[in-house]
Structure 1
Amino acid sequence: MSKKKSVFIQGEITSDFIANAIAKHQTKTEIGAHNIFLGQVRKDIVDDKTVAAIEFSRYEEMANEKLHTIREETFEKYNLTCMHIYHSLGTVQTGGVCFFVFVSAPHRPQVYEATEYIVNRVKSEVPIFGKELFEEGTHQWKKNI
């Protein structure tokens, strides 16, 4: 079993954070492929109201436990060298990155399959909630799709 990693980041996941995560893997010469998924806050229009931001929250204990399980099961299922999952908490403006999955493996087929597997499981199983904040001041809870 691997140690539990910190997944949650306050606010937007910045380009510098993403670039640094990639740069740290250049010394791991057993890696032949990386794959990245970036979830970005869309400027949706819902009932004639425009989304300005999403405010993310989570049920902490359950979210951390579920993410740890997904991590362990992904390592069992795929031949990965590294896996990183990060999700925003708090407010992220439209255009900002709020979800970052980064996997590495000796060969490319594993990284494609593992990335999709992780993203789908996080979106469907982890209790992370998004409150869409509209430009005119109202809000609604977002449904994960």
Structure 2
Amino acid sequence: MSENKIKNIFRSGAIAAEFIADSIAKHSAKKDIGAHSIFLGQVRADIINDKTVAAIEYTAYEEMALKKMQEIREAIFSKYKLTCMHVYHSLGVIKAGELCLFVFTSSPHRRAAIDACNEVVERIKKELPVWGKEVFEDETHQWKENK
């Protein structure tokens, strides 16, 4: 693994729209970017066994997850011609309708930005030790299965 400092992707609570807008705005000064691709993960109010999901409580094995995310980051930068990549994942209780994942890739051309963003999201879902507990409106809960 490279000597790059491991970036903390975790944020306490939901990811605010203002944070996302600010992240996008900061890239307007970068003249070598021709495309951005953004994925926003939002908590759904799924109905499971006649109960509605009110929130998801996210937890993680943070040290392991950050190391794994660094490996994913390096692999993605090796595979795609990216200008930059930002990943933020919520921890704690995130209510239905709120954002819990923000992946933002930038590149000189659209295909690299789009493909890299999609691959990062898929790898996060499959490889990161992050768990979600669905909290129902009646305050019961169950562990969520990643799909």
Q: Scaled by the length of structure 2, what TM-score is found?
A: 0.97
Q: Number of aligned residue pairs: give it.
A: 145
* Paired amino acid for 2:133: K
Q: Which residue matches 1:58? A: 60
Choose the corresponding residue for 1:42, options 41, 44, 64. Answer: 44
Q: Does 1:106 align with 2:108?
A: yes
Structure 2 residue ranges without an equivalent (≥5): none
Aligned-residue offset at 1:3 = 2.3
Aligned-residue offset at 1:97 = 0.4
Aligned-residue offset at 1:133 = 0.3
* Deviation string, structure 1 residues 104-143 (Cα, Å, up to 9, x no partner): 0001110111011100000000000000000001000000
Q: Does 1:118 align with 2:100?
A: no
- 2-structure distance, mates of 1:22, 1:5: 18
Aligned-residue offset at 1:60 = 1.2
SS in 1 for 2:139: coil
SS in 2 for 1:13: coil
Identity of aligned residues (%): 57
SS in 1 for 2:45: coil
SS in 1 for 2:132: strand
Q: Which residue matches 2:77? A: 75
- 1-structure distance, mates of 2:38, 2:86: 10
- After the TM superposition, which parts of structure 1 deviate over 4 Å for at least 4 consecutive aligned residues? none
Q: How does 1:75-94 map to 2 (within 5 A)?
A: 75-94=77-96
SS in 1 for 2:138: coil
* Paired amino acid for 2:128: V
* Deviation string, structure 1 residues 2-55 (Cα, Å, up to 9, x no partner): 321110000000000000100110111100000100000000001111000000
What RMSD, in angstroms, separates the aligned Cα atoms of the two structures?
Answer: 0.6
* Paired amino acid for 1:33: A
